Structure 1
């Protein structure tokens, strides 16, 4: 495969994320899950059988690292951490000794995809769950990976794990998460990878309308769903954690910084200082990934020194809105 840098922008067009993933799911005793589609194979939950490959640089993978930590699944689901920079072919394990994942024994994640689907035709994405014994990728369907870690791995959760999907909030959660995904999580990409001025401005306006809505929503509630930490918070956090370091400048989302929005900035710091969140965030890897790999936007490959991340550890004062959710 060519070693030319990947291209993310199509001239004159809006950015359209490919949401086609391997549809297999890992469920309790390979049962049919209560929620969501069953379009692929069902695999049984088994401690030690699978390895979660999740690059800290990637916001979609960062979700899975946070949920794994919140639920206390570290001893039953091992994790491989790809390097932040890569060529067009695949995420790699250049940070591991010899550039090889110590459990899977592979140099690139593509090897696990090709082992199951020879010459896999789509993008090699993280997070991905790989069966250790066979070396085959099982799924890379990131929304369902975290969903199923909660619903299907319950027997292995830590006793005080938070209820990330409260039954009485699920309908409203789905509505909130849909807007967060469309206008914020993916909205920053629609700004950054817009192929025209008009497409960029449409994405920009939708992004900031959503962020203003979230700022208002979080002014008098500690979490998106009130006084309970849920997966909705995990999904929003990974974008907020990257906002000032990357999206503000690199993706031209520059009306203002996250640190200039009192409620959102306090909320983001509150989560960062919560068990399971901050320890999964690596700001240097985040910057290396975006500014080096996305050469369409940054052809020099120069990685900014700032911003200073120390503010993430500063007091957030949101205890007044209710007890911690984790």
Structure 2
């Protein structure tokens, strides 16, 4: 999500098209599945990157594919990693572990360059020194892969440690790669092996693709089209479209909840929630992709992107229940959601929208209990 916004002559937001679109398979001439060969570089603030680490966890791949986290602050040079001299002798690299969430420490990040905002010293920063190439900036991976690369330096990045190049930087592709089963032979997670969670089951694939298409345009990317618009008429059109599409999802989930009440009984909330998902009666990719926008909606998009017709918690009871079910009942969602990174990134990295860089304290709590 590194400075992905671009404005047309009409003040409309245009998203950059991803440049690296390779896949990983046993038949690929270069990128074959292997344990420890591939690495994800992500921002905990970015909804597109967030998709990939949720999928990585759901598919039992935390011991197969490494992950490193950039600092939440995005400046004119793009995403950066923690400098090596900020560690004070502590190893904060999250190589493979996930059981306790993405590891973080109280870090002393003040240093002579002043490259990181001074007040971040007091924050619990879940970011890493880059462990593989010693790079300071995400852009170095792009230029290593293609010295002539001239577009923006976005997360997520799926990196091949063997060829030292970017395999893919499109989140929709990456989560399909992770879900494809090509890494199953290396999985040690007993819970995953017992359940073999399939996020894009064949019988639901067409419905998932359809849901993803209109949700992406109207909600995932819709909040950006509203928030980065530089024309009042464009903003009004886009923010209205966001809420029209939220209304559509709310109606889907309301009917789903009613059907599940008829099936399990109104008082059997545990059974209802076990099948309460956007597509079908199981957790799928559609839920992963929708979640990363909705979990950011009340803390960021309502105020920062002016998507303030309503909040999720006050205006969309069935989406709100769906959100809390994922967050509180599935560690892959809860332990990869960092509200500090989310709120600080948006409010401190977009000076055209928020020139003073003030970060609102609300809403409280960041997410309500189930």
Scaled to the shorter chain, the TM-score interval is 0.7 to 0.9
* Residue in structure 2 matched with residue 22 of structure 1 by the alignment: 20
1:90-135 C-alpha deviation (Å, 9 max, x unpaired): 2111277557312332111111111121142111111101122454
Structure 1 stretch 151-160 or stretch 174-183: which is displaced more?
151-160
Residues 1:66 and 2:54 aligned together: yes
1:204 maps to which of 222, 229, 239? 239
1:264-319 C-alpha deviation (Å, 9 max, x unpaired): 1110011112121010000010011111111110011111112223543x12xxxx
In structure 1, the residue corresponding to 2:24 is in which secondary structure?
A: strand
Structure 1 stretch 291-300 or stretch 114-123: which is displaced more?
114-123
Q: What are the within-5 Å matches in structure 2 for residues 77-116 of structure 1?
A: 77-94=65-82, 97=86, 100-116=129-145
In structure 1, the residue corresponding to 2:54 is in which secondary structure?
A: helix
Distance in 2 between residues matched to 1:138 and 1:153, nearest whole Å:
15
Aligned 8 A contact 2:39 2:67 in 1: yes
Q: Offset at 1:201?
A: 1.3
Aligned 8 A contact 2:6 2:14 in 1: no
TM-score by length of 1: 0.86
Q: What are the within-5 Å matches in structure 2 for residues 172-191 of structure 1?
A: 172-191=207-226
Q: Which runs of 5+ in 2 are unaligned?
A: 88-127, 257-275
Aligned 8 A contact 1:28 1:153 in 2: no
Structure 1 stretch 91-100 or stretch 65-74: which is displaced more?
91-100
Q: Offset at 1:12?
A: 3.1
Aligned 8 A contact 1:91 1:109 in 2: yes
How many residues were matched structurally?
Answer: 300
Q: How much is the aligned-residue C-alpha RMSD, in angstroms? A: 2.0
Q: Offset at 1:23?
A: 1.6
Distance in 2 between residues matched to 1:231 and 1:242, nearest whole Å:
18
Distance in 1 between residues matched to 2:57 and 2:219, nearest whole Å:
24
Aligned 8 A contact 1:61 1:126 in 2: yes
Q: What are the within-5 Å matches in structure 2 for residues 19-168 of structure 1?
A: 19-30=17-28, 43-94=31-82, 97=86, 100-151=129-180, 152-157=182-187, 158-159=192-193, 160-168=195-203
Aligned 8 A contact 1:70 1:161 in 2: no
Aligned 8 A contact 1:10 1:195 in 2: no
TM-score by length of 2: 0.77
1:299 maps to which of 355, 363, 370? 355
* Residue in structure 2 matched with residue 289 of structure 1 by the alignment: 345
